[in-house]
Chain A
Amino acid sequence: MDQTKTGTKTRPEVSITDRPRLARHVRLIFSQARQQRVLLHPETVVVLNGTGADILERCDGKRTVAEIVAELAERYRTVPEDEVRRFLTGLVSRRCVELVDG
């Protein structure tokens, strides 16, 4: 019964000095049944890939985007900074992620 929802406008890009955190109404969990990490929001479920989940686990409002990228670089061979920023920008526009300061 759900209908077409008109989306919110995309905000300016997330910068490397921003400190992202999960929005208050959002939860990041590991689904046993699906064996995947997912982001839960009142009306949607975002199924995450490994990198996406690793990024979001570090979004605590304290680490900057630059610090998150640096931490991920220890785990993955390459984590392009612009991709992390684009991923977070998308989630900010969907109100799953908030920025503490710029």
Chain B
Amino acid sequence: MDSPFGLLAELTYRCPLACAYCSNPLNLADYTDELTTGEWLRVLREAHDLGVLQCHLSGGEPLLRRDLGEIVAEAHELGLYTNLVTSAFGLSRTRAEQLRAAGLDHVQVSIQADEPRASDRIAGTPSFRRKVEAMGVVKELGWPLTLNVVLHRQNIDRVAELLELAEEVGADRVELANTQYYGWAWRNREALLPTRAQLDAAELVVRAARERLRDRMEVVYILPDYYSRYPKPCMGGWAARQLTVTPNGDVLPCPAAQSLPLPRASVREDTLEHIWADAPVMTAFRGTDWMPEPCRGCDRRGLDFGGCRCQAFQLTGDAARTDPVCHLSPDHHLVARAVEAANAGSRPVDVPLIPRPHRAGTRV
């Protein structure tokens, strides 16, 4: 067992945005008892001692935590590389300067579309202009800027314009990531899954942009696994390289794993070191011993680790099956059918989206 390299600290699931592809859990109400500042600082120290080198501060919207500056400062003090994953809603100049002084290394800002109307519609709140302003502040303060865009059926036709926007705001990196179907995105899969023609067109644009921008901007393009032959190497293997701590202190190999029927492990009851080494939520699918056929005898088992356990569970009800994305999976028809439906001429491009609520208890 190796020690983890990265900690995803999900500081809160509260969010001013209401994106329908949000990967946060559907049961937001279970996460309202958030860790205190002191508890987060302890988590950071334990993570550092465990060998963690990178700390991604995410959510929800991490800026909603008033103690974000203190959390960043502690992570920085420990020598962790700190990365803020934010909607930039609420990233005022004062707040940004405070985080800069605390030692924040890198900022990733999400945007929902390339122009205000579509972006605000998807975000569920007027936010586009403020985001663009905040990105200006990020650049002015000398931070490297990554622009994150989740791609789906309703915005993937605008990849060229999205890349133009990334250039305009001076992004150093742009991550164009096709939606992964967890949390609210799973609920909205029908409205979000693009067609093959949309993907092919987007890929051409991305390829040309990479060629053109190669000395100025890194263009990361994440393919939708539903259209892949083999599954993604999810998290670099279950509980192999990363760990997640949720707003209420649950420890998971990845944020989506909260959906699996495994016993909870919490930083409120145990140390990270002990959880990482021994908690069932970590050991359940670590390594290759758990694998069924066709993974067990497959040459690729060390490459893709059987794909995603959460996706296997979601689609088949059994987390220990081969990820149905794999064309060799006996359950592959479950993915093939969804892809077929997405490509049926009868499905419109703009199926209505169900937004996630801003916080638990808000009516959808």
Q: Find out whether the CB atom of B218 lies under 8 angstroms from the CB atom of A8.
A: yes
Chain A residues within 8 Å of B236, by CB? 2
Do A24 and B222 form a contact, CB below 8 Å, given A1-B235, A8-B214, A38-B53? Answer: no
Measured CB to CB, the nearest residue on chain B to A93 is B214
Q: Find out whether the CB atom of B225 lies under 8 angstroms from the CB atom of A1.
A: no
Do A24 and B214 form a contact, CB below 8 Å, given A5-B220, A40-B81? Answer: no
A37 to chain B, nearest CB (A): 11
Q: Find out whether the CB atom of A25 lies under 8 angstroms from the CB atom of B53.
A: no
Main secondary structure of the interface of A (DSSP, over half): loop
The count of chain B contact residues (Cβ–Cβ below 8 Å) is 46
Measured CB to CB, the nearest residue on chain B to A2 is B235
Give complex CA distance A4, B266 in Å. Answer: 30
Main secondary structure of the interface of B (DSSP, over half): mixed
A68 to chain B, nearest CB (A): 22
Chain B residues within 8 Å of A34, by CB? 3, 51, 53
B223 to chain A, nearest CB (A): 6
Task: Identify B233's interface contact among A4, A8, A9, CB under 8 A.
Answer: A4
Chain A residues within 8 Å of B23, by CB? 1
Give complex CA distance A3, B323 in Å. Answer: 13
1/0 per residue, CB under 8 A from A, across B1-37: the answer is: 0010110000000000000000100000000000000
Q: Find out whether the CB atom of A4 lies under 8 angstroms from the CB atom of B225.
A: yes
Interface residues of B in 196-222 (CB under 8 A from A): 210-211, 214, 218-222
Interface residues of A in 45-64 (CB under 8 A from B): 45
Q: B359 within 8 Å of A by Cβ?
A: no
Q: A27 within 8 Å of B by Cβ?
A: yes
> Which of B159-167, B172-180, B282-290 participates in binding chain A?
B172-180
Chain B residues within 8 Å of A11, by CB? 214
Q: A95 within 8 Å of B by Cβ?
A: yes
Binding site for A on B (CB under 8 A): 3, 5-6, 23, 48-51, 53-54, 79, 81, 83, 105-106, 108, 144, 146, 172-173, 177-178, 180, 182, 210-211, 214, 218-225, 228, 232-236, 254-256, 308, 310
10 extra A-B contacts, CB within 8 A, seeds A4-B222, A31-B51, A33-B50: A1-B23, A1-B234, A5-B220, A5-B221, A9-B211, A9-B214, A27-B81, A29-B81, A33-B49, A42-B144
A-B contact pairs, 25 of them (CB 8 A): A1-B23, A1-B180, A1-B235, A1-B255, A1-B308, A1-B310, A2-B222, A3-B180, A3-B222, A3-B224, A3-B225, A3-B232, A6-B223, A8-B210, A25-B144, A25-B172, A27-B81, A29-B81, A33-B3, A33-B49, A33-B51, A34-B3, A40-B81, A42-B81, A42-B106
Binding site for B on A (CB under 8 A): 1-6, 8-9, 11, 23-25, 27, 29, 31-34, 38, 40, 42-43, 45, 95
3 closest pairs, A vs B, by CB? A25-B144, A40-B81, A33-B51
